[in-house]
Amino acid sequence: MPRPIQATIHTAALRHNLARARLAAPEAKVWAIVKANAYGHGIERVFEGLRAADGFALLDLDEAQRVRTLGWRGPILLLEGAFELRDLELCSRLDLWHTVHCDEQIDMLASHKTKVAQRVFLKMNSGMNRLGFTPARYRAAWTRLNALPQVDEISLMTHFSDADGARGIAEQMAVFAEVTRDLPGERSLSNSAATLRFTSVKPTDDLPGDGSIASDWVRPGIAVYGSAPDFPQHSAADWALQPGMTLTAKIIATQSIDTGASVGYGSTFVAEKPIQVGVVACGYADGYPRVCPTGTPVLVNGVRTCTVGRVSMDMLAVDLSAVTAAGGHVGIGSDVTLWGRAANGLVLGIDEVAQSAGTVGYELMCALAPRVPVLVAD
C-alpha cells in the first residue's frame, strides 16, 4: 500500500472561485494566474477547473508551453516578460503576450526579427518598487514601444503592494490614473485582494469594497485556489471561496500519553493530563510546515483538533481527545485533514494553518512536495 497521504484538487471549487472573481469584476476579463505550477496545484491538474478564464498568466516559458500543450489557444501572458532575446522567439512561436517592465526588454523587442507584431503589457512601477517603469518614465517607454514595428497593441498594467492591507490602493491608483489618463489600451490592475476588496460592483454587506476600480483585465491568483488574500481580516468563507486543494493523510499509530510524558523531537509538548495522540503520515517532507507549533488546527474524522509536539520529516502527532469525545471510532486508518475539506464537509482553511506557521496560504500550497500523490476530483 502506498503511504497514506494524498492531496486532492477540487475542480468544481476552482470553477466556483473563478466565477466568484468574475462576480467582483463583471466588466473585466480574467487572467487566471497559474505561475509557480498553479500555486503548487499543478497546471495540468487545474486546467479543467480554470478553463473558463479569459487567459492564463504565468512567468515561466516552460509553463506557457505546457498550457499550449493542453490545447489552450487563448491569451497567455508572461508576467515578468522576456528574460533574454531568445524568449521573444518563443513568444512569437507560441503567441504569448508579454510584460515589458524595463528598457532592456524594449531593446530586445527592437532587435527581435518577427513578421507578426507582439501584444505587450507595459508595466508601471506605481509604488511597489519591484518591476516597472517609474511614473516619470512610463510615457517615454510607451512612445518608444509604440514606434516599434515588432509591437502590436500596448496594454497598461500595474501591481498593488497593499491591496490586502490597511494602506489599500488609493495612492497607487491615483498615480496610475494620472500618468495613463490619455493613453489608449486595455488596463490591468488588480490581484485577488484588489479584485475582491475593491470590487467594481456596488458594494453590499456580502461584498465590501468601494466600487472605485474598474479595468479590462483582473489578475486573481490566490483567490481562485480558495485562500483569502487578506486573512485574517477576511476568511476564505467570508469571500465565499472554496478550497481548491485538500491535503489528507491517515493515522498510522496511536499512543497513550501519561501526565508528564512528552511527544516528539525535543520534547516540546509535555502532557498536563493523560491524552491519546494519533501519529499522522504527514511531515515537513510533504510540505507541511515544520514551524507549526503545538495547537495548529487539524481535522480528524472531520472533527477539529490540533497538533501536539514538533512536526517531523514524515510524521506529526495530533490530540485525539476532542475526536473521542465527539464519539465514533478513531485510531489507525482514521482520516486526517491537514487543510481543505473533510469527508463530512467541514473545512479547515489553509490560511489558518499558514497563520500558525507565521506565513500565508500561498507559501503552503506552493510547497506541496512532489512526493505527495495528487488526485484530481470533480
Ligand X SMILES: *Cc1c(COP(=O)(O)O)cnc(C)c1O
Q: Does residue 32 bind ligand X (CB under 6 A)? A: no
Q: How far is the CB of 192 from ligand X (least distance, A)?
A: 3
Residue 292 backbone class (left: φ over 0; alpha: ψ -120 to 50; beta: rest): beta
Q: How far is the CB of 164 from ligand X (least distance, A)?
A: 7
Q: Does residue 221 bind ligand X (CB under 6 A)? A: yes
In this chain, which of 15, 98, 119, 219 binds ligand X, going by CB under 6 A? Answer: 219
Q: How far apart are CA 92 and CA 89, in angstroms?
A: 5
C-beta of 229 vs 309, nearer to ligand X: 229
Q: How far is the CB of 105 from ligand X (least distance, A)?
A: 15
C-beta of 225 vs 269, nearer to ligand X: 225
DSSP assigned state of 202: P
| Segment interacting with ligand X (CB under 6 A) among 170-178, 221-229, 257-265, 294-302 | 221-229
C-beta of 125 vs 305, nearer to ligand X: 125
From 123, 138, 265, 284, active-site residue: 265
From 35, 123, 250, 284, active-site residue: 35
Residue nearest to ligand X (CB): 221
Residues 135-194 that bind ligand X (CB under 6 A): 159, 191-193
Residues forming beta bridges with residue 374, ordered by sequence position = 7
End-to-end Cα distance, the chain: 24
Q: For helices 11-24 and 43-50, what crossing angle results, to 10°?
A: 60
Q: How far is the CB of 152 from ligand X (least distance, A)?
A: 21
In this chain, which of 222, 236, 241, 257 binds ligand X, going by CB under 6 A? Answer: 222
Interface with ligand X (CB under 6 A), residue total: 13
Q: Does residue 46 bind ligand X (CB under 6 A)? A: no
3-state secondary structure 80-130: CCCCCHHHHHHHHHHCCEEEECCHHHHHHHHCCCCCCCEEEEEEECCCCCC
Active site includes 39?
no
Q: How far apart are CA 235 and CA 221, in angstroms?
A: 16
C-beta of 11 vs 192, nearer to ligand X: 192
Q: How far apart are CA 241 and CA 171, in angstroms?
A: 28
Residues 60-99 that bind ligand X (CB under 6 A): 79
In this chain, which of 49, 132, 209, 229 binds ligand X, going by CB under 6 A? Answer: 229
Please spell the DSSP secondary structure of 67-80, one letter per residue.
HHHTT--S-EEETT
Amino acid at 36: A
Residue 192 backbone dihedrals phi, psi, to 5 degrees: -55, -50
Q: How far apart are CA 228 and CA 243, in angstroms?
A: 10
Residues 287-316 that bind ligand X (CB under 6 A): none
Active site includes 265?
yes
Q: Which residues are catalytic?
A: 35, 265
Interaction site with ligand X (CB under 6 A): 33, 35, 79, 159, 191-193, 219-223, 229
